[in-house]
Structure 1
Amino acid sequence: MLKKSMLVVFAFILSFTAFLYDLPTASALPPGTPSKSTAQSQLNSLTVKSEGSMSGYSRDLFSHWSSQGNGCDTRQIVLQRDADYYSGNCPVTSGKWYSYYDGVTLYSPSDLDIDHVVPLAEAWRSGANTWTTEQRKQFANDLNGPQLIAVTASSNRSKGDQDPSTWKPTRSGAHCAYAKWWINTKYTWDLHLQSSEKTALQGMLNSCSY
């Protein structure tokens, strides 16, 4: 009985700490979020150059959503991963999701988009125009890093293909993690960035406490 009580107290302290410091729950974060120091090192190493053109771009060049086995595709896997709870397998039919960008809680998969943290068009302008078809497919369906996240359709569509110099999550508490995700994705996929983008990322990264 005492052990159970201690667990309850610990859970309360953890939840209260998360509330105070605006820490997301595990289900709200994609995998591979780097520490502030790692993200800073990655940002420092990224190549800064002028943004490329959109010549030749098409979303069809980034095949998604790919089959992930057992009747599931990438979208369904992310919906399952990011849910507090869900019903149905593939497709997911209902559940509870916290949209990290704008702090909205949702219960229907139809209200959610799977955001590419670094948009496909932005990747194209940053070096993906030289990739193979297979590389672009892997990028568009990257479940290993923090490149995909379930958010409200409205936040995803307001973002479009903008970079952090012109768009940031409306919830200020999301800026730190968003910057880390963006930096890590560009670093992992060897994409360059423009000067204004780097300045905006640095500003958001400075807001991180760890």
Structure 2
Amino acid sequence: MKYTFTLAALLPAVTVLAAPTPPGIPTATAARTALAALTVSTNADDGLYERDLFPTWITIEGTCNTREYVLKRDGTSVTVGTDCYPTSGTWTSPYDGGKWTAPSDVDIDHMVPLKNAWISGANKWTTAKRQQFANDVTRPQLWAVTDNVNQSKSDKSPDSWKPPLASFYCVYARSWIQVKSYWALSITTAEKSALTTMLNTC
């Protein structure tokens, strides 16, 4: 009996590891259920929003503040100094696929922007609760992304801004919904429609 072996069969399987992502991203099914339960209303912009009303960055772990913590969490081969600031590493921005080796090229984006939170319910919170929201590393609220992409997003919701990579729409929508759901923030009709469309890519 003759046996034929291909080179591929003799080589070990190679696993391609995805870039690290924040914790707490729900399944598409769970996200759809959560989206249906969110309060739909008009955003209430009272004109009083100021970024300082959401204190950042606080000490999260050891000497690491929130930004440093996320850079360490979401990068690959990251080394840090005694002050926790990265001295080397690589960061892949899930929004646009950009790869960076300088921490200064990376922003920490709030999935649900602080102003959007303010106009969808956070204006009624205490400063202490807003600080918790702005430094939430337990849910998919903080992302290491390309700085100019973060600036392009600014305080926009999914009906007026989407990540450059359409392949990320599914994760983006699931993460946005999870944050709004946990923090009991409202969404607009347009926002819900955009999130539904993005979930349909899952």
TM surpasses 0.5: yes
Q: Does 1:168 align with 2:162?
A: yes
- Partner residue, 1:76: 68
Q: What is the number of residues matched between the two proteins?
A: 191
Unaligned stretches of 5+ residues in structure 2: 1-8
Which residue number in structure 2 is paired with residue 9 of structure 1? Answer: 12
Between the aligned partners of 2:142 and 2:95, the Cα distance in structure 1 is: 13
Q: What is the SS of the residue equivalent to 1:201?
A: helix
Tell me if the contact between 2:61 and 2:69 (Cα under 8 Å) persists in the aligned partners.
no
Task: Please tell me whether residue 196 in structure 1 is matched to residue 199 in structure 2.
Answer: no
The CA deviation string for residues 22-60 of structure 1, in whole angstroms up to 9 with x for no partner, is xx7151x11111001000000000000001114211100
**Identity percentage of aligned residues:** 46
CA apart distance, 1:93: 2.0
Moved over 6 A (4+): none
TM-score, normalised to structure 2's length?
0.91
Which of 1 and 2 has greater Rg?
Answer: 2
Aligned partners of 1:54 and 1:124 also within 8 Å: no
Tell me, yes or no, if the aligned pair for 2:90 and 2:101 is still in contact at 8 Å: yes
For residues 28-47 of structure 1, the aligned pairs below 5 Å read 29-47=21-39
Aligned to 1:150: 144
Listed as ranges, the gaps of 5+ residues in structure 1 are: 1-5, 16-23
Q: Which amino acid aligns with 1:25?
A: A
Contact 2:24 2:139 in 1 (8 A): yes
Separation of aligned partners in 2, 1:106 and 1:146: 21
In structure 2, C-alpha distance between the alignment counterparts of 1:158 and 1:69, rounded to whole Å? 30
Q: If the length of structure 1 is used for normalisation, what is the TM-score?
A: 0.88
Per-residue CA shift, 1:123-149, capped at 9, x if unaligned?
001000000111000000000000001
Q: Does 1:177 align with 2:171?
A: yes
Residue 70 of structure 1, CA deviation: 2.1
Please state which structure has a larger fraction of its residues in helix.
Answer: 1
Return the alpha-carbon distance in structure 1 between the equivalents of residues 166 and 188 of structure 2.
23
